[in-house]
């Protein structure tokens, strides 16, 4: 007998037929004698529709009310799944975030989980009851509903698995595992049997939406065994594991991309000590994250050009913050470009092997793709390129690193 958390994403609970299919999977685990907590997302498309409604209602909505609206989809699916399980003879009840409770901080819209109280859920496991938990939601210290950021049901599931000290956290989704890159863009993408926490963390944070970044962080910290698998097919999924559980390590394990970036260039900024602080300080104060940065040498010795990226949704705000300080910063012109994509190659094998970046630059050059900004870390190389080349770059790199499926 094991204690398991099963998470079903939006497409896996998109309609009643799929909810019944998910319920059948839950029933199998219950009949095998396991204690089961199920975490559900909203039906596919519902959260997007709610986000749109809020932004149509007011351009700068109160984030506490945003959370009230966008968390609602999970209330529906958790209730429906509990009803369907009961109709199949499985004892089950739904749990909203506030009922458990899932305690978070008050960063509405992307709150962090601080604690989950599971005593009552554990007691009910003892009575054979399945817990059906609304993912994505929690409660702040003032008792108000919070949400965990888009894709946050993954984090609900992993956090619950950690709190329950579960043996497994199975993430059921619309692909049958983690692939070398997004299988919807690269037909030759290959399913990985295993991927390390560290690589999965980089893949997620560089844009692979299959798991929310925070869920991987949390799994790594609390040693939660995550498995990503299909809710539609009975095929083995991908296990996220420690590095020593992987026998043969590829140089590059995966390629991720993110369309969420936008580029800003400040032309002819004064080249003096303190200028970078003056530029990035106000952006940080406005809670705008800066990701990639490159400083170019300008024709004039006293001045330099500075290029960096911010989140696409924050571009307008970032431009406003900088323009308001144009005189102080001394730049002559500000250029902004939302039509960029960040492509990253990831692999723990990079630590011990040189030449990975060079291979990337060559593969892109051979396809006539210009690199605008580069950034690296111990296990990844990222480049910023024009968005129109996304598919070409992903497919080209996938082949260049020998990742194509046979
Ligand atoms: P869910 O609704 O189940 O949470 P998501 O849409 O959030 O599902 O995540 C699954 C999607 O992630 C897939 O449909 C796929 O297009 C995308 N994806 C991006 N990169 C990868 C990757 N490396 N491996 C698998 N899926 C990926
Ligand atoms: N329903 C939420 C979203 O679409 C949470 C999730 O699906 O993980 O972002
Ligand atoms: Mg998701």
**Ligand 2 atom at minimum distance from 152 CA:** 8
If pLDDT is split at 50, 70 and 90, which confidence band does 244 have?
Answer: confident
Domain of 106 in residue numbering reads as: 3-174
How many domains are contained in the chain?
1
pLDDT in tens, 180-207: 999 999 999 999 999 999 999 999 999 9
Instruction: Examine residue 222 and state whether it is found in any structural domain, yes or no.
Output: no
**Is 179 near ligand 1, meaning CB less than 6 Å away?**
yes
Residue 369 lies in a domain: no
pLDDT of 101 reads: 98
pLDDT (0 to 100) of residue 249: 76
Asked if residues 26 and 84 have their Cβ atoms less than 8 Å apart, the reply is no
Choice from 210, 228, 250, 401 to test ligand 1 binding pocket (greatest atom count within 8 A of CB): 210
What is the residue-averaged pLDDT of the chain? 95
Q: Ligand 2 atom 6: the closest Cα is on which residue?
A: 151
Protein residue with its CA nearest to atom 9 in ligand 2:
150
Give domain status of residue 214, yes or no.
no
pLDDT grade, residue 61 (50/70/90)? Answer: confident
pLDDT at 218 over 90: yes
Ligand 1 centroid from CA 128, angstroms: 32
CA of 354 to the centre of ligand 2 (A): 39
CATH number of the domain at 82, please.
Answer: 3.40.1160.10
74 C-alpha to ligand 2 centroid (Å): 8
Q: What is the mean pLDDT of residues 244-270?
A: 91
Instruction: Judge whether 54 lies within some domain.
Output: yes
Model confidence band, residue 298 (pLDDT cutoffs 50, 70, 90): low
Pocket of ligand 2 (CB under 6 A): 9-10, 41-42, 47, 73, 135-136, 150-154
By CB neighbour count within 10 A (0-12 exposed, 13-18 middle, 19+ buried), where does 209 fall?
A: middle
| Ligand 1 in reach of 167 Cβ (< 6 A) | no
Q: Which atom of ligand 2 is nearest to the CA of 136?
A: 5
20-45: average pLDDT: 98
Gap from CA of 208 to ligand 1 centroid (Å): 7
Determine the average pLDDT of the residues in 331-353.
95
Indicate if the pLDDT at residue 125 is higher than 90: yes
Whose alpha carbon is nearest atom 4 of ligand 2?
47
* Position 148 in a domain: yes
For the segment 146-153, the average pLDDT, to the nearest whole number, is 97
Q: Which residues contact 205 (CB under 8 A, 6 or more apart)?
A: 213
Is the model more confident about 249 or about 178? Answer: 178
pLDDT of the residue at 246: 83
- Residues in Cβ contact with 247 at an 8 Å cutoff, skipping those fewer than 6 apart: none
Q: Does any ligand 1 atom lie closer than 6 A to the CB of residue 202?
A: no
Question: Residue 64: inside a domain, yes or no?
Answer: yes
In a domain, 133, yes or no: yes
For a pLDDT cut of 70, what percent of the chain falls above it? 99
Q: Evaluate whether residue 402 is within a structural domain.
A: no
């Amino acid at each position: 007998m094991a204690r398991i958390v099963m998470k079903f994403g939006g497409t896996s609970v998109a309609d009643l037929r799929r909810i019944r299919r998910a319920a059948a999977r839950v029933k199998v685990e219950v009949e095998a004698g396991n204690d089961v907590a199920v975490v559900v997302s909203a039906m596919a498309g519902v959260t997007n529709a709610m986000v749109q409604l809020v932004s149509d209602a007011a351009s700068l909505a109160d984030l506490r009310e945003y959370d009230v609206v966008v968390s609602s989809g999970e209330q529906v699916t958790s209730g429906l799944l509990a009803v369907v399980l009961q109709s199949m003879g499985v004892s089950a009840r739904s749990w909203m975030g506030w009922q458990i409770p899932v305690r978070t901080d008050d960063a509405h819209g992307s709150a962090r989980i601080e604690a989950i109280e599971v005593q009552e859920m554990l007691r009910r496991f003892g009575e054979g009851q399945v817990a059906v938990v609304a993912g994505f939601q929690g409660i702040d210290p003032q008792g108000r509903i919070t949400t965990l950021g888009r894709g946050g049901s993954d984090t609900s599931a992993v956090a619950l698995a950690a709190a329950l000290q579960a043996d497994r956290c199975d993430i059921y989704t619309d692909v049958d595992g983690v692939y070398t890159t997004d299988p919807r863009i690269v037909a030759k993408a290959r399913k990985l049997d295993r991927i390390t926490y560290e690589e999965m963390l980089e893949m997620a944070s560089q844009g692979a939406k299959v798991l929310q970044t925070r869920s991987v962080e949390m799994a790594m910290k609390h040693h939660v065994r995550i498995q990503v698998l299909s809710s539609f097919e009975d095929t083995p999924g991908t296990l996220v594991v420690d590095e020593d559980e992987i026998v043969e390590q590829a140089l590059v394990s995966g390629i991720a991309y993110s369309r969420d970036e936008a580029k800003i260039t400040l032309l002819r900024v004064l080249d003096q000590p303190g200028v970078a602080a003056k530029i990035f300080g106000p952006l940080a104060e406005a809670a705008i994250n800066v990701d990639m940065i490159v400083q170019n040498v300008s024709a004039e010795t006293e001045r330099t050009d500075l290029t960096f990226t911010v989140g696409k949704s924050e571009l307008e705000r970032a431009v406003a913050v900088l323009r308001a300080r144009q005189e102080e910063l001394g730049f002559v012109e500000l250029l902004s470009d939302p039509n960029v994509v960040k492509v990253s190659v990831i692999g723990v094998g990079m630590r011990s092997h040189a030449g990975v970046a060079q291979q990337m630059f060559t593969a892109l050059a051979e396809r006539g793709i210009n690199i605008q900004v580069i950034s690296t870390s111990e296990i990844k190389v990222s480049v910023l390129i024009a968005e129109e080349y996304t598919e070409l770059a992903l497919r080209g790199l996938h082949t260049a690193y020998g990742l194509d499926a046979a």
